[in-house]
Copies of this chain bind each other. A is one copy, B any other.
Amino acid sequence: MVCFGWVSDLFHLPLDPNSSVPLYRQMAEGIERLIREGTIQSGDRLPPTRQLASQLGLNRTTVAAAYSTLEKAGLIRGHIGRGSFVAGQPAPSSRNTTSGNASRDESTRPPEYPVSRNPMPPQPAANIEISFASSRPSSDTFPLQAFRRVAKEAIESPDAAEILQLGSAHGFQPLRRFLLESARDSGIAGPADDLLITNGCQQALDLLARIFIGHKTPVAVEDPVYHGLIRVFERAGAELIPVPVDADGMNIAALETVLERQHPKMLVITPSFQNPTGATLSLAKRRRVVELARRHGVLLVENDIYSELRYHGEALPALKALDEGGGTILLRSYSKILFPGLRVGWVIGPRAIIAQLAEAKQISDLHSDQLSQAVLLRFTESGELQKHFEKTLAAGAERLAAALDACREFLPPGATFTRPEGGMNLWVELPAPLTAARLLTEAQQHGVDFLPGIYFSPRGDHARGLRISFGGLAPDEIRRGLKILGECAARELGENPTLAAYEAAAVLV
């Protein structure tokens, strides 16, 4: 399986610490075997040594030694700044290239078409029945009938020729105007704000990274945090400074320390139903974050794609609405509330920043696709979005309740989990010594998938954490999946007599 740009198969290498064969050589042989079997192939990227070492509980030098052995055997190739890649097949004559007497095989077999393995987003293995691995709405709940009617209206409309012609980097003008007026009416955008349409929030993060992030630019982020955010900022050169997330959102004392000592240039925060924890920043903390950001002159980026998915409790104002200075940059999107396959999100912020983002957008891809923008505008204006919302919130409440009930019932003693009031995700911490990687191996064999905590860690830790994305599953699937997870965890823990007593996680309820 290829996740996040590198193969995750290496996380399950069988290693025997009691063997007379050194660990690095066991590892090199295991990877060679994966290459020979075709499980990982030429061009595949191996995990960074740090991540792999952390997942396997090894020293980083062990992993580096294994990679070095494979590189000498011509099986992998390292590229500075980009990591290590599978370079070819082991020589057929030698069953054990990495054990010695390597002979390079120059006749590297070209891969067969079609290339079925898809590096991203993570696809469940063939036998996966229930996947908690993707934070997205279920296709079953798509308002298909309304989509078809509305899309046909957009296509039939006299605007069709305008939709099909080259557009503006700022976005399809009617949608842009509608979204900006709505944001003004609801007090989110001020008179000095402007709006840019992006290909979902991921592109908004990417454009922000292009403009504001350079080599070693310090950026404060939640910990744990959405893996796509880690990747986009790390690729841009940022030095991510993790700030722990409590039950009521980012830990403010920790944030203050970070702001005072490390002077981040940017603070990125998901105040509502944060991915992956589901945590929501309280009103008092929201005010404090805005105030601290202003006082320390840090650029505040509010990643706000889940806030409308509140199933219980009272709605809270966006940071952008609380920020009277107006400097906050707000990211929103249609992808979590409607159709992820239509890539339409937007950024609201000070006009000068939006102008820079629009310039970066034009360089990136000229402008966003206009057909989906026109369809989504019509979907919103026609009232269909509001109707769909009511159903979404009812369905979401059921899913959330099913997930929380099942966590209570099935997770092993010592496990902790968050209790969100909305969104699509919650976070589980497993009791030591069980790691998420170990549980995943077992769970996948029983048809259940999830994303281990390591993906959400700016520093490569959270080995015992995992994200449960319940938004795309029916209540009975959620229940069944968590029951299997609980059984797998119990088995793993039962086999290991050193199970530590329950320890409350410091930063999460």
Contacts and interface: CB of A to CB of B under 8 A. Distances in A.
Interface stretch (A24-32, A42-50, A439-447): A42-50
A31 to B, nearest CB: 17
Interface stretch (A51-59, A243-251, A356-364): A356-364
Given A362-B121, A371-B372, A43 B199 contact: no
A190 B110 CA distance: 10
A112 B202 CA distance: 29
Interface stretch (A157-165, A268-276, A299-307, A408-416): A157-165
Interface of A: 5, 42-45, 82, 85, 110-115, 118-121, 134, 136, 139, 142, 144, 147-148, 151-152, 155-156, 160-170, 177, 180, 184, 190-192, 194, 198-200, 202-203, 206, 210-211, 228, 231-232, 235, 335, 339-344, 351-352, 355-356, 358-359, 362-372, 375
B351 A43 contact: yes
A176 to B, nearest CB: 9
A152 B152 CA distance: 6
Given A43-B351, A180-B113, A352-B43, A166 B341 contact: yes
Given A165-B139, A341-B165, A355 B45 contact: yes
B148 A355 contact: no
A365 B200 contact: yes
Given A202-B366, A362-B121, A364-B203, A136 B343 contact: no
A5 B359 contact: yes
A365 B5 contact: no
Contacts of A356: 43, 82
Contact of A342 (B111, B339, B371): B371
Contact of A42 (B164, B343, B351, B362): B351
